[in-house]
Amino acid sequence: MASTAASLQQLEELGESLVYTGVELTDFILKQQAADRAEGQAEREVAEKERSAREKQAEREAAQKKREAVQNEREAAEKEKQMQFELIKAREHREYEEKLKQYELAKAKNKGNMKKS
C-alpha cells in the first residue's frame, strides 16, 4: 500500500470519529481502502513513467555518444589520410627539387666541359 495508506484500525477509528457505525462504517472503510489502492496504483504508474522516461533518455544519450564516436573516427581517418597526402606531397617536392638540382649541376658541369674543349 501507499505510504499514506491507513491501517484498518486507523480507518475504523476515523470512521467512528465521524459517527459512522455498522454498514456505514464498513462502506467508509472499503471506500478509503479503495482510494488508498487507487492512489498507490497512480504512484506506481507515475514512477513507471518516470523510469521509462529516464531509460529512453539514457538510450538517446547512448545513441548520441555512439554517433559522436563514429563521427570522431571518421574525422580521425580523414585527418590521417590528409596527413599522408601532405607527407607524400612533401616527399615528391623534395625529390623534384633534388632532381632539379642534379640536372642544374649536370648542366653546369657539361657547360664547363664544353668550354675546356
For residue 17, give the DSSP letter.
H
5: Cβ–Cβ under 8 A, 6 or more apart, which residues?
Answer: 33, 36, 39, 40
The pTM of this model reads 0.52
User: Pseudo-torsion of CA 94, 97, 102, 106, nearest 10°?
Assistant: 170
pLDDT at 5: 63
Determine contact, residues 11/19, Cβ cutoff 8 Å.
no
Amino acid at 72: N
Read off the pLDDT band of 4 (50, 70, 90): low
Determine contact, residues 40/5, Cβ cutoff 8 Å.
yes
pLDDT digits (tens, 9 = 90+) for 38-92: 999 999 999 999 999 999 999 999 999 999 999 999 999 999 999 999 999 999 9
Amino acid at 60: R
In the predicted model, is pLDDT for residue 97 greater than 90? yes
